[in-house]
Amino acid sequence: MDEIETIEHLFGGCPATNIVWDLAIHHNWLPPWGRVTHPFNWSLFLNTMKQWDYRRIQRISFLLWSIWKTKNEVIFLNEIFKPMQCIIKAKRLSAKWRIRSCLSVDDYFKGLSPTPSKTRHFIQWQSPNPNWIKINLDGSFQNTLAAGGFIIWDWRGKVLRIGASNYGNTSILVAEGRALRDGVQPAIAVGHGRLHIEGDILVVIEALKGTSATPWQLKHIIQDVQEMPNQVEMATINHIFREPSMADDWLSKYGHSISGSILATDCWDPELRIIVRDDLLGRTLVRRGA
């Protein structure tokens, strides 16, 4: 980080940036021929982009933005440059953009109407009943590696606990099941007796409720969780899509950047604080019409 920071060095010559490009290729997020070369040449780079499809252009745009933002945090906030977090941030920004635009850009590039009919929905995190707590959780899977995350709120919307874990080489089902177990355990440990659990983990929830067969990978995890409600007064669990609660999605992806687990009582990351705020305030989700 001691080199003179030019545009050429920022995107193509910095060793830390090169690790980000390598990770993007290793994760199959960019093709091997999609990385920036050194020395970085904007003219050559833009000419190369003309050959890419719109999905590659979208991904590399967010990757460049993530590199720029992360480097600024290093310079102005004395943060440590972490290549894995940089690529995760780019993936998350890309996913959020696609959710909010509802892939309308896909039809535009395919030659269809750039202004399809849209339905707008205002979505927002919903508080549990008074004196209950809510646990939102999610799992993540990238290149045979799994992670999970959860966030525990009180009924007023105050964050009580957040957690993330790297589960290593396992399936997404196991990651979602372990995220559920990992979220319930600290809630019980601090004495909360009424739990409302939500997550975009339909298979796990149906297995826990007994409405579908339990996959063999989940049997011991489901058994552990089923024994936990005996320690609480009441517990409910529902499936929701992830858009109303993006904080647990962020935490599950953050799990890939750590080894082991992390449990905290506050939102230590500025980006996570923004997402938590947006979850509470709500966001507009645009869905395309038929």
What is the block-wise mean pLDDT of the chain (290 residues), using blocks of 10 residues? 66 84 82 64 68 77 88 83 87 73 43 50 78 92 90 92 94 92 89 85 86 87 79 78 81 92 90 86 59
pLDDT of residue 174: 92
In a shared domain, residues 99 and 205? no
Asked which of 85, 109, 133 is the last residue of a domain, the reply is 109
CATH number at residue 158: 3.30.420.10
In a shared domain, residues 71 and 175? no
In a shared domain, residues 101 and 153? no
In a shared domain, residues 265 and 180? yes
What stretch of H or E contains 283? strand 283-288
Taking the CA atoms of 136, 67, 97 and 27 in sequence, report the sign of the dihedral they define: negative
Give bridge partners of residue 38 from the DSSP assignment: none
In a shared domain, residues 103 and 135? no
- Please report whether residue 115 resides in a domain: no
- Please report whether residue 273 resides in a domain: yes
SS (H, E, C) 186-236: HHHHCCCCEEEEEECCHHHHHHHHCCCCCCHHHHHHHHHHHHHHHHCCEEE
- Please report whether residue 275 resides in a domain: yes
In a shared domain, residues 25 and 159? no
pTM: 0.60
- Please report whether residue 272 resides in a domain: yes
Domain that holds residue 12: 7-109
Q: Contact, 102 vs 118, CB < 8 A? A: yes
Q: Contact, 176 vs 146, CB < 8 A? A: no
Asked which of 62, 81, 109 is the last residue of a domain, the reply is 109
Residue 233, token pair as written in the block? 């007064």
What is the number of structural domains in the chain?
2
- Please report whether residue 117 resides in a domain: no
In a shared domain, residues 81 and 160? no
Q: Contact, 280 vs 156, CB < 8 A? A: no
The Cβ-side half-sphere exposure at 147, using a 13 Å CA radius, reads 24
Taking the CA atoms of 50, 44, 62 and 258 in sequence, report the sign of the dihedral they define: positive
Q: Contact, 64 vs 42, CB < 8 A? A: no
In a shared domain, residues 182 and 205? yes
- Please report whether residue 16 resides in a domain: yes
Asked which of 47, 79, 109 is the last residue of a domain, the reply is 109
In a shared domain, residues 136 and 209? yes
pLDDT of residue 275: 87
In a shared domain, residues 267 and 130? yes
In a shared domain, residues 154 and 281? yes
In a shared domain, residues 167 and 52? no
For the stretch 238-265, what's the b/e string if a residue is b when 16 or more beta carbons lie within 10 angstroms of its beta carbon?
Answer: eebebbbbbbbbbbbbbbbbeeebbeee
